[in-house]
Amino acid sequence: LALLALVVFIAIEAVRRLLAPQPVAGGAVLAIAFVGLVVNLTSAWMLARAGASLNARSALLHVLSDLLGSVAAIIAGAVIVFTGWTPIDPILSLAVSLLILRTTWRLLAQSAGVLMEGVPAHLSYEEIGRALARVPGIAAIHDLHVWHMTSDRAALSAHVLIREPSEWPQTLAAAQRLLAERFGIEHVTLQPDWHTPAPGKRVIPVTPVSTEDKPHLH
């Protein structure tokens, strides 16, 4: 939200300066922008090594927005020093604000997905369900749910119709290993069922259609 407010402020100021041009000291702009560029490059390098969490990415986005501002200021300062054309400053400010807006919007959408416990964009119900249904000992999957826990962690729950109750510990271990290794899901809750689910349940059964026992979705 702070970045959105910053984008609005930059855009308003840029439009105001386009409509009412003001003198700009190109040399001073260049000097300050170079200092800012060095500081922001250092900060961006440190944050890039901090991980891929939503908080780290948000902080990195703040720094990158400052970095873009420094680059734009260097270009604007150079143009003003060599040509005296001052409108370049607000024009580049508008361009930077649009770039920041695009990136900020994507980050906000991802944050909303985490807060609303939405399905991670990189995961597919169909793919996860079919993979689980192929685990030895599993006859079908129903009531499958996948949601965000944090920006980089997902959780899963499902009801599992099993073939042999006595083999459930081994079946559970195989399913957990599959979810962790293939989909990166480590927070898993699987409820074993020994009876066919009630009508209307979304079931992913295993039906032997070939020698490989490939499942299909009903």
Q: Give the CATH number, domain containing residue 194.
A: 3.30.70.1350
Cα–Cα dist 67/49, whole Å: 17
pLDDT in the model for residue 114: 60
Same domain, 84 and 167: no
Cβ 215 vs Cβ 205: under 8 Å: yes
> Residue 149 carries which side chain, given as an amino acid letter?
M
pLDDT in the model for residue 198: 55
Alpha-carbon dihedral sign for residues 69, 100, 60, 183: negative
- The owner of tokens 């192929």 is 134
In three-state secondary structure terms, 74 is helix
Cβ 76 vs Cβ 89: under 8 Å: yes
pLDDT in the model for residue 131: 92
Give domain status of residue 175, yes or no.
yes
Last residue of a domain, one of 115, 144, 162: 115
Total count of domains within the chain: 2
Give domain status of residue 211, yes or no.
no
Same domain, 91 and 137: no
Residue 188 dihedral angles phi and psi, to the nearest 5°: -125, 135
Q: Which pair of tokens denotes residue 98?
A: 């649009």
Length of the chain as a residue count: 218
pLDDT in the model for residue 215: 39
Q: Would you give per-residue pLDDT tens digits along the chain (218 residues)?
A: 666 777 788 888 888 888 887 777 777 878 888 888 888 788 777 777 766 565 666 677 777 777 888 888 888 888 888 888 888 888 888 888 887 787 777 767 666 656 655 667 778 888 898 899 899 999 888 888 888 877 678 899 999 998 888 889 999 999 999 999 999 998 999 999 876 555 555 555 543 333 344 333 33
pLDDT in the model for residue 190: 94
> Residue 97 carries which side chain, given as an amino acid letter?
S
Same domain, 92 and 189: no
Same domain, 78 and 134: no
pLDDT in the model for residue 210: 36
Same domain, 86 and 134: no
pLDDT in the model for residue 70: 83
pLDDT in the model for residue 4: 72
Tell me, what DSSP letter sits at residue 195?
S
Same domain, 130 and 195: yes
Tell me, what DSSP letter sits at residue 84?
-
160 - beta bridge partners? Answer: 141, 192
Same domain, 59 and 139: no
Cα–Cα dist 111/103, whole Å: 13
Calculate the alpha carbon distances from 182 to 44, 51, 91, 179 in Å.
31, 21, 47, 6
Same domain, 57 and 137: no
